[in-house]
Amino acid sequence: MSAEPIEAALPGALHEDLALLDADDVCAILRIKKSWLYDQVEAGKIKVIRLGRQLRFRRADIAEFIESCTS
């Protein structure tokens, strides 16, 4: 049986979707405070994946949020 990493078996787009960001990553990218991020998540403005008590974010969802803020 092969011990091939799962990333090697996934197509590029799917692999990119599985590379999740945590709250600290998103805060660093957007240069925001964690409390503001949590407020936006609770308001439903930023999509989130809940893994137990942990929050994870897709890069595509963060990009979508940024686009929605563009005037």
Please report, for residues 37, 53, 64, the alpha-carbon distance to residue 30 in angstroms, rounded to integers and kept in the order given: 9, 22, 13
Is the pLDDT at 57 greater than 60, yes or no?
yes
**Mean pLDDT score, 23-45:** 97
Integer Cα distance of 10 and 40 in angstroms = 31
Length, in residues, of the chain: 71
pTM for this predicted structure: 0.74
Beta-bridge partner residues of 51: 54
Reduced to 3 states (helix: H, G, I; strand: E, B; else coil), residue 44 is coil
- Residue ranges per domain, the chain? 21-69
- Dihedral angle sign, alpha carbons of residues 13, 52, 46, 56: negative
Is the pLDDT at 39 greater than 70, yes or no?
yes
